[in-house]
Amino acid sequence: MGTDYRTFHECPLARVAPTGWLARMLEGQRDGLTGHLEVAGFPFNTAGWRSNRIKAKGHDSKSWWPYEQVAYWVDGMIRCGHLLGDRTLLAKGRRQTDWVLSHPGRDGYLGPSSLREAQGDRYFHCNRWPHTVLFRALMAEYSATGRKSILNKLRRHYVSGAGDYSLGRNVLNVEIMVWLYHETGDAKLLDLALQQYGAYQARYPEHDTTVDRMLSDQSPRDHGVNYNEHAKLAALLYGATGDRRLLKASRKALAKLARDHELVSGVPSSTEHLRGIYSTAGYEICNIADYTWTLGYLLMITGEAAYADRIERAVFNAAPGAITKDFTALQYFSSPNQVVADRSSNHHPHGTGSMHVSYRPRPGTECCPGNVNRIFPNYISRMWMTDREGGLVAALYGPGRVRWKAGPERVPVTVHQQTDYPFRETIAFDFQCRQPVAFRFSVRIPGWCRHATITVNGKPLKRSCKPGTFVRIQRTFASGDQVVLTLPMAVQTSAWPEGGLAIERGPLVFALPVKASRRRDQRDPHASDNFPAWNLRPIGRWNVGVDPLAKIEVQEHPLTGNPWDPEKPPITLALPGRIIPGWKLIEKKTLKVHWGGRDHLHKGDYRFMPALPGAKARQRAGLTLQPLTLVPFGSTLLRISIFPRLEKPSGSSGRC
């Protein structure tokens, strides 16, 4: 086996467990959609990968499409099951994966015959793509169980079978090929990955995700999921070959994504296609999962703390902000600013006037209900890593623990991460060791933290805590040792297009929660008492601007139960704002929509989120200061998180 150029490696899934609020988050998934996604209907109520072709009455299903969505669900369900030790979730997920493993073709091909034989389908460029998604669940199974048969069967699927992986999304199988190469050392897998990736470059020179285009300064405008998934492949191949041009391509691809598309909640503007940064921009929920998954690979390959910062920002803001807090409903498209979310309030270019921004078990698509189950299990899976020398790395933060074997003698060590992060500033790492053992323990200093401190057993560690780096602690650890990392979280404001202003503290973005009229949508065929669909319209004030120099008071509250509960936020910010009377919902009775190559005229009661008000409207803002209480972005359903920037008027009363 050749040189491994990766900086970090994931700890085996069986050795990782969430505690505290992260455990409660996964329990909510288990009791909510992750454990019961069949309530969302097709294709989750079918035999899934146990069937050679998934069909449903009234669905003109592409042969690959339903398998992709079921596979997202299975991946999230199996990871969630392992992290919780939940046999019911594991049994439900394994009904799909075990069937696939136990029914290979004569040549070792795994999966439905319809995906093997899809060459006559005009969507053939995706016929092998769903395998990538399902095989991630098998990666998790192997990580948790060590079952060598998984490696053997996946290896035979790729090496012995015939398939063109250079077509469209099919090339994403390179992810699995490279993983298998690292696990087995079989050079045939790396050769296949390089050959297919090279053929993809030749076939699609105009695509945003070829190496040449990623290396260019050209702004990407690809489909969001496509771009997020493809952007990591070059870096994965670098990890196996050391070809730095490949690493440079992936790094630049993600840098351009942040530069041109990343919104305040940490996710690129991607209502299907990448859209740029503007005040009413949003993102597909699939991209929260896919973007953070790709960033996780870049974190492991490069060892750069900035990728971990970006993961936390997306997971702690965009993810909880796109779901109901009991995990029974989600959005298709979510936005930093959204003050209406009903069955006809989608203001985005894709599906304007539809239910896409409303919260329901199936908000107008099947992909997001499947993919949303992956976000938090993936995050927890990658909290703990090891470095090239066998040291332990605390890569991502949150309550949890890892069991690990340290040093040449493989001494059992358990490390507990005791914290209420990101709602609190302190993280305590408590060590339990069967015997004293020397190893290196690394902690991350986020890029936003300017005055981090570290103590070891109560004594200050005299080491530079430079923002955006990992600090390495080399010592002999024993039971009872404690490393405490303190990350002071200063309140900061950031500037956004159209005169927008956001308020942040640590990895959290803060938003004004908008009081809503909350009504169940009785017309939704996928809704039920336990999994309702919601129509939300604003009944509270939301049309406020803020002065960037306003005094902001941080208020901490007890953290109990679900920290994203809108009624019990563990931290709030108090500040003054002013009403902007001209900033109102856009209301329409007729709507022209271009779809299928022609225009359609629809009638209804349409209410849409407006852009930030212009300069003249801001000048008419009220003089009386209004008291505002902001909560974490993830604690909201309706919200304003990009505020119109106001200057203090000379005639202001100065009173709240």
What is the distance of C-alpha 445 from the center of its chain? 21
Cα–Cα dist 606/117, whole Å: 44
pLDDT at 161: 77
3-class secondary structure, 387: strand
- Give the pairing of strands 411-419 and 400-406: antiparallel
pLDDT at 507 over 90: yes
Q: Long-range CB contacts (< 8 A, 24+ apart) of 96-99?
A: 96/48, 96/49, 96/50, 96/70, 96/71, 96/134, 96/137, 97/49, 97/134, 97/137, 97/138, 97/141, 99/49, 99/50
Instruction: Output 123 or 623, whichever has higher pLDDT.
Output: 623
Residue 654's pLDDT band, with cuts at 50, 70 and 90, is very low
Residue 648's pLDDT band, with cuts at 50, 70 and 90, is confident
Is this prediction's pTM over 0.95? Answer: yes
Name the nearest CA neighbour of 442 among 467, 473, 478: 473
Q: How far apart are the first and last CA of the chain?
A: 68
The predicted-structure confidence for 332-368, as pLDDT tens digits, reads as follows 999 999 999 999 999 999 999 999 999 999 999 999 9
* Residue recorded with tokens 């039971």: 479
pLDDT at 57 over 90: no
pLDDT at 324 over 50: yes
pLDDT at 523 over 80: yes
Beta strands in 193-329 (DSSP E): 270-271, 273-274, 283-284
* Residue recorded with tokens 């969507």: 123
* Residue recorded with tokens 């250079």: 166
The predicted-structure confidence for 447-501, as pLDDT tens digits, reads as follows 999 999 999 999 999 999 999 999 999 999 999 999 999 999 999 999 999 999 9
Cα–Cα dist 274/349, whole Å: 11
pLDDT at 120 over 70: no
- For residue 379 the two structure tokens come to 């995050």
pLDDT at 514 over 90: yes
pLDDT at 59 over 70: no
Task: Read off the pLDDT of each residue in 396-410 and give the average, rounded to a whole number.
Answer: 97
Cα–Cα dist 167/336, whole Å: 35
Task: Report DSSP letters for 80-123, one per residue.
Answer: HHHHHT-HHHHHHHHHHHHHHHHS--TT---S-HHHHTGGGSTT
What is the number of alpha carbons within 13 Å of residue 355 lying toward its C-beta?
17
pLDDT at 451: 97
Mean pLDDT of the chain, nearest integer: 95
Cα–Cα dist 470/397, whole Å: 13
- Structural domains of the chain sorted by starting position, each given as residue range(s) with its CATH number in brackets: 38-204 (no CATH), 385-419+426-486 (2.60.40), 491-644 (no CATH)
- For residue 33 the two structure tokens come to 């959609």
Residue 594's pLDDT band, with cuts at 50, 70 and 90, is confident
* Residue recorded with tokens 């702004």: 219
In sequence order, the 6+-apart residues with CB closer than 8 A to the CB of 340 are 357, 536, 537, 538, 585, 607, 608, 609, 638
pLDDT at 44: 98
Cα–Cα dist 374/418, whole Å: 24
Specify the DSSP element, H or E, that contains 443. Answer: strand 437-445
Name the nearest CA neighbour of 357 among 282, 287, 288: 282
- For residue 226 the two structure tokens come to 């496509």
Residue 599's pLDDT band, with cuts at 50, 70 and 90, is confident
